[in-house]
Structures are given as C-alpha cells and as structure tokens.
C-alpha cells in the first residue's frame, strides 16, 4: 500500500499485511480521522489478492486504549451517530473479510480497542497484555459489538463479569477463558507473531476462506441442517477443484 496515513501505517511483505495503530503518545486512542484511515486500510487489504494473512497491532505501549475520550466526549449527536456507524463498518470489514485477521495485542486493549480483536479471527497476546471493556465507569456500555461478540467466544457468566466490573484482565486469564489463542513473550513478541502468520499464510487461501465463512456461519441463526448442507457442498466443490486434486495426488505419491 503506497498511501501515507496520519494515524496508522501499513506494511505488506511476503503475503502478510500488518496494519499498525500509530498514536503511541495517546496509547493509540481512536479519533474519527484514525477510524476513517483504519477502515480505508482494511478495505484495501481485503481487496489485495497478494495478501494471505492480515495482522493488526499497536505501536508503543498499547494495542489501543479505546476511543479518544477528549474528542468522543465533545461530539454532537450527529457526530456520535456517525462514529458508531463507522465503527460498525470497521468491525464488519474484518469479520466479513475472506482473509484471516490476527489481533496482535501488546499492552492495553480497552473498550473499542478490545472490540477490534473480538472481530478478528485470532487473538495473540503478549505476556503483559491486558484487555477489557471499561465503559461502565463512564455510565456507558460497549458500542462496537462487545456485548455480543464476547458471548460468542466465552460463557455468559464470564461475559457479564467483564461487562459489569469493567476491569482490565491479563492475557493469561483470558487465554484460560478461551478468548486469547496464543501468548508470546514480551521480548520477541512481534517476531513470534510474524512466524505464526507465515505458517498460516502457507495454508491454501481457498480453504481458509471457506473455513472462516463456515465457522462464522455457525454463530448465525441459520438452521443446523442448512449449515451442514452448506459444509457438504463446500467440501464437494473443493474436492472437485484442481488445487485439491493436485494436493491429494501429491500426498499419495509422497506416501507410496
């Protein structure tokens, strides 16, 4: 991506895109301008056929400490409604992408800065990372799907505890609860994330796309039998495709 942004930057190399929040002095808190840039970058990455895996991370001590409260608190009603609508687009652009998105959480991921990872397919956290939805302290609630996506990932009693208390929880506890996929050491966190992404990027893109779609479909109200039928049709279509046939024959030859 050649475009230069003010609040983020994007790096693409060897099929892996890395979108970086770049307001470290503000703990990467998101204002309206930054949100627009993030959405533009996500849409561009999703449209790039060379990208196999996408990573989101934060520069400095935080992944993202939520919305920029100074701007957020001074919005007009119209600006607030627009901010919420754009936020919905941001999360859905990740969730509905055909590519796998990884949230690499270094430091704080709070409020909207935790709702972005909840929209991602995988969450990798550093040992010192902390995550939470503290909106209750401002007499608010999460407004970016946090109350709904979190329930899809862990039990409702734990969700209620996180929402009611608003506390930031450490990566080890959230790993035990099933929110975090992997925990990597602080010392070489980014290199370990990239190694993980490289392994994922070597998986066939068409299979990953369908696996993501079907897994997400399991969270919908579509009847179970229809979802099973969709899975059966998908595996048949893939099996009859040239890529799978070649992979199967290569496997047979290797194991003769």
Catalytic residue list = 115, 135
144 in Cβ contact with 115 (< 8 Å):
yes
Dist CA 96 CA 212 (whole Å): 9
Report the length, in residues, of the chain: 256
127 in Cβ contact with 171 (< 8 Å):
yes
User: ∠251-255-256 over CA atoms, to 5°?
Assistant: 120
Calculate the dihedral angle through the C-alpha atoms of 188, 193, 195, 199, rounding to the nearest 10 degrees: 160
Q: Going by C-beta distance under 8 Å and a sequence separation of 6 or more, which residues neighbour residue 153?
A: 118, 178, 179
CA dihedral (218, 222, 227, 233) positive or negative: negative
């Amino acid at each position: 991506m050649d475009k230069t942004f003010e609040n983020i930057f994007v790096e693409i190399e060897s099929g892996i895109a890395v979108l970086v929040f770049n307001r470290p002095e503000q703990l990467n808190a998101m204002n309206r301008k930054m949100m627009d840039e993030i959405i533009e970058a996500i849409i561009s990455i999703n449209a790039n056929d060379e990208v196999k895996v996408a990573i989101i991370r934060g520069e400095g001590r935080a992944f993202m400490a939520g919305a920029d409260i100074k701007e957020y608190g001074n919005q007009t009603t119209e600006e607030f409604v627009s901010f919420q609508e754009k936020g919905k687009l941001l999360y859905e652009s990740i969730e509905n992408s055909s590519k796998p998105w990884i949230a690499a959480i270094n430091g704080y991921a709070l409020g909207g800065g935790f709702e972005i990872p909840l929209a991602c397919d995988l969450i990798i956290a550093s040992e010192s990372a902390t995550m939470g939805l503290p909106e209750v302290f401002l007499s608010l609630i999460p407004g970016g799907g946090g109350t709904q996506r979190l329930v899809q990932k862990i039990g409702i009693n734990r969700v209620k505890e996180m929402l009611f208390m608003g506390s930031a929880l450490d990566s080890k506890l959230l790993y035990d609860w099933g929110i975090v996929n992997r925990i990597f050491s602080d010392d070489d966190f980014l290199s370990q994330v990239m190694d993980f992404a490289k392994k994922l990027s070597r998986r066939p893109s068409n299979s990953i796309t369908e696996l993501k779609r079907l897994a997400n479909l399991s969270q919908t109200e579509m009847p179970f039998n229809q979802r099973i039928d969709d899975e059966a049709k998908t595996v048949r279509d893939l099996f009859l495709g040239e890529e799978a046939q070649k992979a199967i024959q290569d496997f047979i030859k290797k194991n003769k």
